[in-house]
Structure formats: C-alpha cells, structure tokens
Amino acid sequence: MPAFKPAYLIHGDDHGRVGERRGRLRALAQAQGGSVEVAATADAAAALLIALTLSVGRRFIIVDGVEGWKDAEVTLHLQPALAAMPPDTTIAFFAREDGRIKAPPALHSAVKAAGGDVSAELAVKEWDLPKWASARAAELGLTLDGAAARALVGAVGARQARLSRELEKLALEYGPGTTLDAEAVLARVARSAERRAWTLADALVARDGAAATRVYLQLRAQGERPESLSYWMTRRLREALAVSLQLEAGSPTATVRASLRMPPKAAAAFVSDVQRSEPSVLRRALALLADLEIDSRGRSPLDPDTLALRTIERAAA
C-alpha cells in the first residue's frame, strides 16, 4: 500500500502529465476504498479540511484550478487549515500553468510547511524531445539511439503524451531489453502518421499543387507538424523516383505495381501518378524538400508553414 503525504502540489505547463497525475491519484484513492472530495476554490478546500467526517479510511481532497489563485487567498483560508491537517487526510492541488499563470508562491510554501510534496511537470522544449524520448524509453526497458529517437519525434510529433503512448506500445510489442534503431521505430509507429500524410504526398507526386496545398493546411489544422509532413513528402517522392526509374528502365507496369507495399488500387493509382512525371522532375522536387529542411532549421527568416507552402508550389510546378 503506498504511503501518502498530507499534501501535494502538482503544477506545470505539461497539462497532459498534470492530468495524468490527477487521474492516477483518484484511481489509487478509489482502489483503497478512500473517500474522494473535490474543491475548486481556496475557501472551499479549507472548509473540507476542517469539516468533520464519518468516512472510514483515508480522505482524499482534490483541488483543481489553483493556477488562478492569489497569495492572499492561500494566506487567509488555507495556511491555517494546512497547518492543522487532520489525520488520515491527503489534499492534492493541481495547477495547469501557462506563461505567467502559475500556482501562487504562498501555496508552494504552505504545502511544504504541512510536510507535503511539490512537483513540477514541465513540457520539454521541442529540440530536447529526442533526448527525453530516449530517457523515457529507458524507463520502459527499451534502448533508443539518437537516430531512433529523432525518427520517433519526427513521425509522431511533439506532444509528450502521444510520444509516451507510442513508447509504451513499443515496450509491449518488443519487450524489455530491446534495442531499436530508426528503421524499427518507423516500421511500428509511423503507420497512422503515414496514412494521414499519404494524401498530401500523393498530390505532390501527381503535381497537383492546389490539392497538395489544401491537404497540407488541413493536416496542419489537425495538429500535424511541418517537419513530420516534410518527412513523409520526402519519403513518398523517393518511392516515386524509384518507381519512375524502374519504368524508365523498361520494367513492366504490372511488375512495378506488384512490388509496392500497398493495396492494389493504391499501387495502381500511385504508379499512374508517377507515369505522369519523370525522374528529373522528381529529383528536382526532392532537392526542393532538402532545401526546405535546411531553411526550416534557421537558414531562412520565414516561418516553417510559409516555407513549406512555397516548396509545395514549386515542387508541383
């Protein structure tokens, strides 16, 4: 049975992790048969702390939204109640912070003074995500090298909760002690991202700039990252170039279609799109995507979306 402290403050700008901590605490409380009460204001939380109760077992008080509180509220209502915490009671404060909206310093101090624990759940900066993914994989018994971690972030995106879910799936599928390279990671996690981006990539192969632009904007509105979409466009164009070279060398169309790892109808449509182009055009499009990657890393002052849309227009021309 876990040992609970009298008070907790879980705060930070990683709202997904803050929510997970809240859900885990509630599940533990219910599993132990404890009572769970909820408050949203400092005075309501204080009233629950000092209220008499006939419940059996440990009481758990969950307090949300403390990022909007003021120091004066904590000093007036909660400090006295926390200083005289009743036995077999745990109160947990959750703050989903953003910019200057943070849990008040007085609450930090009051929780610590009550013998409680303060922990921060901070979102990892995007450039640190591969390192974070490798560390998270290690916690699950997996080993990801730098290339594998970068491939994971590129395919899945920058949301830590989503990355964690994919890593957990990898751990279940491969088991602890497994070392995964970039190819193995992409083979497993890229399938859903792949399907979402194929429409964009295929429009580019077909040199349909209007359709490619429309799909790009739709995918961005759904939360897909420019880097991830650029990756899938590049991968698809490389496949298109390989098909184009096979056809140019005289390989039968049916043989080329059969060699593709995709459903027959999709393979037929893909080969048909490729046949409307030629290797030199596809090589030029790949060169433009290579320039896009470099420009997005700081060579150009333009934002990634502007760069991507310009590249799509030029590649489809």
Say what the pLDDT of residue 263 is. Answer: 65
Taking 90 as the threshold, does the pLDDT of residue 62 lie above it?
Answer: yes
pLDDT tens column, 199-251: 788 888 888 889 889 888 888 876 777 887 888 888 888 989 999 999 999 99
For the chain, domains (ranges, CATH) are: 7-120 (3.40.50.300), 126-180 (1.10.8.60), 193-315 (1.20.272.10)
Q: Which of 35-44, 150-159, 285-294 has the lowest mean pLDDT?
A: 150-159
CB 151 within 8 A of CB 44: no
Does the structure show a pLDDT above 90 at 8? Answer: yes
For residue range 271-289, list pLDDT tens digits in order. Answer: 988 998 889 989 999 999 9
- The dihedrals phi and psi of 61, each to the nearest 5 degrees, come to -115, 120
Query: Does residue 198 surpass a pLDDT of 80?
Result: no
What residues contact 126, with CB distance under 8 A and at least 6 apart? Answer: 158
Cβ contact 118:124 at 8 Å: no
pLDDT at 91: 94
- Kindly report the average pLDDT of the chain as a whole number: 86
* pLDDT per position as a tens digit, 296-317: 888 888 888 899 999 999 988 8
pTM beyond 0.95: the answer is: no
